[in-house]
């Protein structure tokens, strides 16, 4: 089983703060790295799929960077709002490069709470 590690496990910030968290993954045989946001009582929603070393992606106030050589990705939220409160999950393909059927291994998630 692949090790996909996320830190911190949880984070409390005040409205307006900027924040970031980390996803670590195996640096060998890299193919893609996914970020999802999972709000309470909703479905997890894909934020980014990153495939190239040095990739930076942005969606509103949320952005992500990727370093495939050292095996990490950062997710940044600028000016956090209460509606950003959610669990943020990263995921990495399992058995990619062989007979991959698109399986993802997920990290345990970072729970973000933004206080008004």
Residue numbers of the site for other proteins (CB under 8 A)? 1, 9, 31-32, 34, 36, 41-46, 49, 51, 89, 91, 93-94, 96, 100-109
Q: Which of 86, 108, 91 is nearest to 42 (CA)?
A: 86
Strand partners, 89: 36
Q: Which is nearer to other proteins, 41 or 116 (CB)?
A: 41
Q: Which is nearer to other proteins, 28 or 116 (CB)?
A: 28
Q: Which is nearer to other proteins, 25 or 36 (CB)?
A: 36
CB of 115 to other proteins, least distance (A): 21
Q: How far apart are CA 32 and CA 104, in angstroms?
A: 10
Q: How far apart are CA 49 and CA 38, in angstroms?
A: 15
CB of 73 to other proteins, least distance (A): 15
Query: How deeply is 88 buried, as exposed, middle or buried, from its count of CB atoms within 10 A (0-12, 13-18, 19+)?
Result: buried
CB of 7 to other proteins, least distance (A): 13
């Amino acid at each position: 089983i692949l090790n996909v590690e996320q830190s911190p496990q949880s984070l409390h910030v005040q409205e307006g703060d900027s924040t970031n968290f980390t996803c670590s993954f195996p640096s060998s045989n890299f193919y893609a790295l996914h970020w999802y946001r999972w709000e309470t009582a909703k479905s997890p929603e894909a934020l980014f799929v990153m495939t190239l070393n040095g990739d930076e992606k942005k969606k509103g106030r949320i952005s992500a960077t990727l370093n495939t050589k050292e095996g990490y990705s950062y997710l940044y939220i600028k000016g956090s709002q209460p509606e950003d409160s959610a669990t943020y999950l990263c995921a990495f393909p399992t058995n990619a490069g062989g007979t991959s059927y698109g399986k993802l291994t997920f990290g345990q998630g970072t729970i973000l709470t933004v206080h008004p």
